[in-house]
Protein backbone atom coordinates (compact mmCIF):
# COMPACT_ATOMS: atom_id res chain seq x y z
CA UNK A 1 0.00 0.00 0.00
CA UNK A 2 1.68 3.19 -1.13
CA UNK A 3 0.32 5.39 1.66
CA UNK A 4 0.12 2.67 4.28
CA UNK A 5 -3.59 3.35 4.77
CA UNK A 6 -4.95 0.16 3.15
CA UNK A 7 -6.52 1.91 0.16
CA UNK A 8 -4.69 -0.01 -2.58
CA UNK A 9 -2.57 1.13 -5.53
CA UNK A 10 -4.88 3.93 -6.71
CA UNK A 11 -6.40 4.88 -3.37
CA UNK A 12 -9.75 3.40 -4.42
CA UNK A 13 -10.29 0.82 -1.73
CA UNK A 14 -8.67 -2.51 -0.91
CA UNK A 15 -9.00 -3.84 -4.48
CA UNK A 16 -7.76 -0.89 -6.51
CA UNK A 17 -5.70 -1.04 -9.69
CA UNK A 18 -6.10 -3.21 -12.77
CA UNK A 19 -8.44 -6.17 -12.70
CA UNK A 20 -9.94 -5.24 -9.36
CA UNK A 21 -13.39 -4.37 -10.65
CA UNK A 22 -16.32 -5.67 -8.66
CA UNK A 23 -18.90 -5.21 -11.42
CA UNK A 24 -20.29 -1.92 -10.20
CA UNK A 25 -20.00 0.04 -13.45
CA UNK A 26 -22.80 1.48 -15.56
CA UNK A 27 -22.63 -1.27 -18.17
CA UNK A 28 -22.51 -1.13 -21.94
CA UNK A 29 -23.45 2.03 -23.84
CA UNK A 30 -23.45 4.15 -20.68
CA UNK A 31 -26.25 2.28 -18.89
CA UNK A 32 -28.99 4.82 -19.52
CA UNK A 33 -32.02 2.54 -19.63
CA UNK A 34 -34.88 4.22 -17.80
CA UNK A 35 -36.89 1.12 -16.86
CA UNK A 36 -40.52 0.15 -17.30
CA UNK A 37 -42.35 3.03 -15.62
CA UNK A 38 -42.35 6.73 -16.31
CA UNK A 39 -43.67 8.92 -19.07
CA UNK A 40 -42.95 9.93 -22.63
CA UNK A 41 -43.15 13.72 -23.05
CA UNK A 42 -43.69 15.87 -26.13
CA UNK A 43 -40.84 18.39 -26.43
CA UNK A 44 -43.14 20.77 -28.33
CA UNK A 45 -46.39 20.93 -26.34
CA UNK A 46 -45.30 19.17 -23.08
CA UNK A 47 -48.06 16.53 -23.35
CA UNK A 48 -47.34 13.42 -21.22
CA UNK A 49 -48.13 9.82 -22.21
CA UNK A 50 -47.42 6.78 -20.00
CA UNK A 51 -44.38 4.83 -21.23
CA UNK A 52 -45.14 1.43 -22.76
CA UNK A 53 -42.77 -1.47 -22.07
CA UNK A 54 -40.87 -2.54 -25.17
CA UNK A 55 -41.60 0.60 -27.20
CA UNK A 56 -39.09 3.47 -27.12
CA UNK A 57 -40.61 6.92 -26.62
CA UNK A 58 -38.95 8.25 -29.77
CA UNK A 59 -41.01 5.77 -31.82
CA UNK A 60 -44.27 7.16 -30.41
CA UNK A 61 -46.00 10.33 -31.62
CA UNK A 62 -47.68 12.99 -29.50
CA UNK A 63 -51.45 12.47 -29.55
CA UNK A 64 -52.00 16.25 -29.73
CA UNK A 65 -49.45 17.53 -32.28
CA UNK A 66 -47.75 14.46 -33.84
CA UNK A 67 -44.21 15.32 -32.69
CA UNK A 68 -41.97 12.34 -31.72
CA UNK A 69 -41.90 11.92 -27.93
CA UNK A 70 -38.86 11.83 -25.64
CA UNK A 71 -38.35 9.96 -22.35
CA UNK A 72 -38.92 11.92 -19.15
Three-class secondary structure of residue 58 per DSSP: helix
User: Which tens digits make up the pLDDT trace of 38-65?
Assistant: 999 999 999 999 999 999 999 999 999 9
Strands (E), the chain: 39-41, 48-50, 70-71
The span from the CA of 42 to the CA of 28, in Å, is: 27
User: Which tens digits make up the pLDDT trace of 16-42?
Assistant: 555 555 666 666 766 566 667 899 999
The span from the CA of 72 to the CA of 45, in Å, is: 14
pTM as predicted: 0.53
Amino acid sequence: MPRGDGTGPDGKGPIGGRGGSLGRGRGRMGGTAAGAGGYCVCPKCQSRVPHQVGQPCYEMECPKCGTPLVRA
